Structure 1
Amino acid sequence: MYLRNHTWYVADWGHAVTRELRQIEIMGEKIVIYRTEAGDPVALEDACPHRKLPLSMGRLKGDQVECGYHGLTFDCSGACTRVPGQSLIPAKARVRSYPVEQRYDLVWIWMGDPALADPDKILKIEHWGDPSWGFNTGPVMELDCNYLLVTDNLLDPSHVSWVHPGSFAQAACEETPLDIDIRDDGVAVSRWMHDVEVAPLYQPLVPFAGNCDRLQHYEVRFPSLAVIKAVFTPAGKGGRGKALPDDTFLMDSYNLMTPVNERQTRYYWFQLRNVKPDCAETSAFMSKGIKAAFDEDKAILNAVQKGLDSATTRPIDLAIDGGPLRFRRLLDKMIAAENTPPGATGQAAE
């Protein structure tokens, strides 16, 4: 069901991981996360091997976690260092330790084989920390749907016409065809729309007057990390292969989905823009508008999950589903390959 050895997932915002023991869930696994006294993030299996009490209900002793039931204590590697009342520590008295890295004020976690946890596989965030680019974000979204419904949504720009009429939408979004690009790391869908009005959310942001040429570029990296690029040029100045003029508005939106379980997803998001980098009012305006649009997505996707769970007939596919369907097929093959034992033939069961 999940791809574990391909990339890192977001465990949480870096500023949200503190010296307080806290439980998170990823891929149906309960994890306790905290920081050492030196500030390094730690992630351990959140279950004492004795009676399975969550270690998040215990307490920190220096950098080690003491179980709140019988005092078994575990270090950052998951090894048990103390069993009160006996000197011999059982060989099975240990918990899983997950590789974690902090980058871009995010704590990233590796859910697969620790030996394959290469930090270079963490998603690269272009323009992070660039003083000429502005930044905005908002609260983590908790969705009651499978993460693949979110990747479907992000590879389907056509939905903005009906879900986001007050923010991202314009008439050209309904009919302009999409180009689909199959890549080694995911799938991208995109389209240029020429000589159209600037979409409502962006009207106060673009540094020119009048109609625009607009690029919608949505890419989802396997398995659930999305980069959305919005490009607005004055009408007649944009298009594939054209150099962008100096008054182009650019926004890169990062949408990072962490599967909680089969029916829940945690959604981290932020945007970087090439205008008004130091303007707090602009950042607040963008965060408010984008959060409102994402809340519209949340209502739709939660309802879609319920609809699929209670459906008595199979859903149909349309031409606009080309990107999402290709993404799912490729991801299914990657998951099957990851779950095929070395030397085995045939396709592994999911």
Structure 2
Amino acid sequence: ECGYHGLTFDCAGQCVWAPGAGRIPSAARVRPYPVHEKYGLVWIWMGNAAIADVEEIIDIPNFDSPDWGLNRGAAMELNCNYLLMCDNLLDPTHVAWVHETSFATPATKDTPLRVTKTDEGIIVHRWMMDHEPAPFYKKVVEFSGNCDRLQHYEVRYPAHALIKAVFTPAGTGGPDGQLDPKTFVMDSYNFMTPTTETETRYYWFQLRNIRPDDDALSQMMSEDVRKAFEEDRAVLDAVQIGMSEKTSPHIDLNIDAGQLRFRRQLEAMIAEEAMVDEKMA
């Protein structure tokens, strides 16, 4: 319903009521978009409605599991292009400098990264062995002493991400490790919605494998994560200004391999979809 004069439209976009007597103008139409509700989110398909498929929405294991806790925060407005946030979520190394009081340890500065390409996106990951848990996680893990830690940063096309954190007692982790029963796992899901060329709405929630009914723990984790994301926001807002007003060429580092591969593949997918749409028009 239009908030100005009350024109009312059906789900196909056709106006079905207009104020005053007489015929409804035939031009009173709006473009409809397929939508689907899942995981407490409304998913909208902005492309060709004929190829919309709800089965392609990201699968989130344990979302409704009573054995997993859930914490979330309000959507955040970022003053940057959505791809800069995707870059951030494919960059495990930045935590060493941006998140010193939460997610960082010395191992996050220079432990080598591995990049894996999948049909759905790009994964940048690494195991960091036998070191002290980062400050944020030290408050929630249920074991003492050093840990083996997995950083799994994964962004799926077009713009949603899974950040998996695994903390297990030292000596039980690694690609072939036998994880300890007290291993802590946190799956952080992140969703970027472009609103303009230089603005993005960012939403997130997290699932954890411990104390599912502990509301105090959920609140503490949400507040701490929100503080960490505010650090990202400050950096990304500044990066957008720097990119918009740059006076020198880009410098790519070895740690940028995941982000560059993601951007190249996404650009190719966008171009391919545009060609299909043009043929169907």
Q: Fold-level match, TM-score > 0.5?
A: yes
The equivalent residue for 2:158 is 223
TM-score normalised by the chain length of structure 2 = 0.95
Paired residue for 2:106, among 156, 165, 171?
Answer: 171
SS for the counterpart of 1:340 is helix
Paired residue for 1:188, among 123, 129, 145?
Answer: 123
The equivalent residue for 2:221 is 286
Paired residue for 1:108, among 43, 48, 73?
Answer: 43
CA distance in structure 1 between the partners assigned to 2:11 and 2:275 by the alignment: 31
Per-residue deviation, 1:85: 5.2
1:122 maps to a residue whose letter is I
Kindly provide the CA deviation profile for residues 233-272 of structure 1, in whole angstroms up to 9, marking residues without a partner as x. Answer: 1001001032322111000000111111111001111110
| Between 119-128 and 297-306, the greater mean CA deviation after superposition | 119-128
The equivalent residue for 2:63 is 128
1:300 matched to 2:225? The reply is: no
Paired residue for 1:159, among 89, 94, 113?
Answer: 94
Q: Which runs of 5+ in 1 are unaligned?
A: 1-20, 22-54, 59-67, 345-350
SS for the counterpart of 2:142 is coil
Paired residue for 2:138, among 182, 189, 203?
Answer: 203
Per-residue deviation, 1:204: 1.6
1:251 maps to a residue whose letter is M
The number of residues matched between the two structures is 279
Cα gap change, 1:208 to 1:342, in 2 (>3 Å): closer
CA distance in structure 2 between the partners assigned to 1:93 and 1:290 by the alignment: 45
Paired residue for 1:324, among 259, 263, 281?
Answer: 259
CA distance in structure 2 between the partners assigned to 1:112 and 1:89 by the alignment: 28
Q: Which has the higher contact order (CA 8 A, sep 6+)?
A: 2
On the 8 A contact 2:185/2:209 being kept in 1, the answer is: yes
Cα gap change, 1:132 to 1:302, in 2 (>3 Å): same
2:177 maps to a residue whose letter is K
| Between 311-320 and 187-196, the greater mean CA deviation after superposition | 311-320
Paired residue for 1:76, among 11, 15, 26?
Answer: 11
Per-residue deviation, 1:77: 2.1
Structure that is richer in helix per residue: 2
Structure 1 ranges of 4+ moved more than 6 A = none
Per-residue deviation, 1:341: 4.5
CA distance in structure 1 between the partners assigned to 2:248 and 2:134 by the alignment: 37
SS for the counterpart of 1:81 is strand
SS for the counterpart of 1:226 is strand
SS for the counterpart of 1:149 is helix
Paired residue for 1:96, among 27, 31, 42?
Answer: 31
Supply the RMSD in Å over aligned alpha carbons.
1.6
Q: Which runs of 5+ in 2 are unaligned?
A: none
